[in-house]
């Protein structure tokens, strides 16, 4: 035998030398939920070790992540029912605690990367990402609302705007609104390829943001489609996106790959709440071994082509890496 591939696997140092893919804490973006409730932290049943943090507590949480070398965060607001309305007006109001939290974090930790969520659902009494009229999700009428939300977040100091709503034309619309107000350095990470997925269930529990009626299939993509991902990514790239995200990640590794092959922009993957809950459930049963399964899962996303990964596992990974 001339070729014995096992020779290149004979010990850890050789395996490490020729590893084609790596995962570092720099690749990870940690999603955190914030509320304006008094309790320091409220557990989320379907997402073990994830909490809705109070405004005070989130600063401490971020401090502990920074100490582990984890410096990228994406924030999601859990909004009180009484602050929701049809037009998501609270999202860009001065009162919005989410904007205060962004400001407080950037004041205290100017070096961290802070990303937002832009969509109507956390603020919408209909629980949809866009404006609802007679059961229909209106596209063009939603855009000015998303733009106001984005400008308010930019004013608060956000580094990256994260439109997760899947309305057509929103990236360009938001880019123009940001530029008009002088926020030319505020980045956009577009949820370019976001599927209508059953894997978002635990996240909607975390924010009480499930649609009150209907589903999201008229704006989020059909899981059957891959070419359409190229179309969505192309439009967002043309409209000024700085990053292209694929969401969910694990069931869509082929989509991550095809985007990476076809675009020069950084590609990110969202390792979503259902993917997180699945692993935790199996580990709790004693059926899977937590650390190796998490590392293998995240590595598979990197191997598929993800430059960055949004993941609820980020802090655990940072802890493991600190020990090495
Ligand atoms: C809302 C939004 C969702 C997620 C991120 N932003 C849910 C949805 O589209 O219903 C899901 C994240 C996750 O499941 O971890 N625009």
Query: What is the pLDDT averaged over residues 201-209?
Result: 88
Q: Is the pLDDT of residue 323 over 90?
A: no
Q: Is residue 171 situated within a structural domain?
A: yes
Q: Is the pLDDT of residue 227 over 90?
A: yes
Please give the number of the atom of ligand 1 that sits closest to the Cα of 164.
Answer: 16
Q: Whose CA is nearest to atom 11 of ligand 1?
A: 200
Q: CATH number for the domain including 72? A: 3.20.20.70
Secondary structure (3-state) at 300: helix
Q: Is residue 3 situated within a structural domain?
A: no
Task: Write the DSSP string, 51-65.
Answer: EEEPHHHHHHHHHHH
Rounded (10°) angle between helices 227-238 and 170-180 = 20
DSSP class of residue 195 equals: B
Mutate to test the pocket of ligand 1, among 164, 192, 217, 277 (most ligand atoms within 8 A of CB): 164
Q: What percent of the chain has pLDDT over 70?
A: 100
324 confidence band (pLDDT: 50, 70, 90): low
Q: Is residue 227 situated within a structural domain?
A: yes
pLDDT tens sequence across 130-170: 999 999 999 999 999 999 999 999 999 999 999 999 999 99
**What's the pLDDT at 298?**
98
206 confidence band (pLDDT: 50, 70, 90): confident
Residue-number span of the structural domain to which 74 is assigned: 21-323
**What's the pLDDT at 304?**
98
Q: Just list the catalytic residues.
A: 194, 247
Q: Is residue 2 situated within a structural domain?
A: no
pLDDT tens sequence across 65-104: 999 999 999 999 999 999 999 999 999 999 999 999 999 9
Q: Which of 243, 239, 91, 235 is nearest to 174 (CA)?
A: 239
The mean of the pLDDT values for the chain is 97
Q: Is residue 15 situated within a structural domain?
A: no
**What's the pLDDT at 207?**
84
**What's the pLDDT at 283?**
98
Query: What is the pLDDT averaged over residues 1-26?
Result: 97
Ligand 1 residue neighbourhood (C-beta within 6 Å): 117, 119, 121, 129, 164-165, 200, 203-204, 216, 272-273
Domain total for the chain? 1
Q: Is the pLDDT of residue 110 over 70?
A: yes
Query: Is there a contact between 269 and 247 (Cβ–Cβ < 8 Å)?
Result: yes
DSSP class of residue 213 equals: S
Q: Whose CA is nearest to atom 2 of ligand 1?
A: 164
Q: How far is the CA of 203 from the centre of ligand 1 (A)?
A: 6
Q: Is residue 4 situated within a structural domain?
A: no
Please give the number of the atom of ligand 1 that sits closest to the Cα of 220.
Answer: 9
**What's the pLDDT at 300?**
98
Q: How far is the CA of 204 from the centre of ligand 1 (A)?
A: 7
Q: What percent of the chain has pLDDT over 90?
A: 96
Q: Is residue 200 situated within a structural domain?
A: yes
Q: Is residue 103 situated within a structural domain?
A: yes
Secondary structure (3-state) at 117: coil
Please give the number of the atom of ligand 1 that sits closest to the Cα of 276.
Answer: 15
**What's the pLDDT at 209?**
82
Query: What is the pLDDT averaged over residues 305-318?
Result: 98
What is the separation of C-alpha 219 from the centre of its chain, rounded to a whole number of angstroms?
18
Q: How far is the CA of 13 from the centre of ligand 1 (A)?
A: 40
């Amino acid at each position: 035998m001339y070729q014995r591939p096992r020779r290149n696997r004979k010990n850890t140092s050789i395996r490490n030398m020729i590893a084609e893919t790596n995962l570092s804490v720099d690749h990870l973006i940690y999603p955190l939920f914030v509320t304006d409730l008094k309790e320091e932290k409220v557990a989320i049943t379907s997402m073990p070790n994830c909490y809705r943090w109070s405004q005070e507590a989130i600063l401490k949480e971020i401090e502990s992540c920074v100490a582990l070398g984890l410096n990228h965060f994406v924030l999601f607001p859990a909004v009180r029912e009484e602050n929701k309305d049809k037009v998501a007006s609270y999202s860009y109001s001065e009162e919005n605690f989410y904007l205060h939290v962004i400001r407080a974090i950037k004041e205290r930790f100017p070096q961290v990367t802070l990303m937002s969520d832009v969509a109507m659902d956390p603020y919408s009494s209909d629980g949809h990402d866009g404006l609802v009229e007679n059961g229909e999700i209106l596209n063009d009428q939603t855009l000015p609302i998303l733009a106001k939300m984005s400008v308010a977040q930019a004013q608060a100091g956000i580094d990256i705007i994260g439109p997760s709503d899947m309305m057509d034309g929103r990236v360009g619309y938001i880019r123009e609104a940001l530029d008009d107000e002088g926020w030319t350095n505020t980045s956009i990470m577009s949820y370019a390829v976001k599927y209508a997925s059953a894997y978002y269930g635990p996240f909607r529990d975390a924010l009480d943001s499930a649609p009150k009626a209907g589903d999201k299939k008229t704006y989020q993509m059909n899981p059957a489609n891959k070419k359409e991902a190229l179309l969505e990514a192309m439009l967002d790239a043309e409209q000024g996106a700085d990053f292209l995200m694929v969401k969910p990640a694990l069931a869509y590794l082929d989509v991550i790959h095809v985007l990476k092959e076809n675009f020069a922009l950084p590609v990110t993957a969202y390792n979503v709440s259902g993917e997180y809950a699945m692993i935790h459930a199996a580990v709790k049963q004693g059926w899977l071994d937590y650390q190796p399964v998490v590392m293998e899962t995240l590595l598979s996303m990197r191997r598929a082509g993800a430059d960055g990964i949004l993941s609820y596992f980020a802090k655990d990974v940072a802890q493991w890496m600190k020990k090495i």
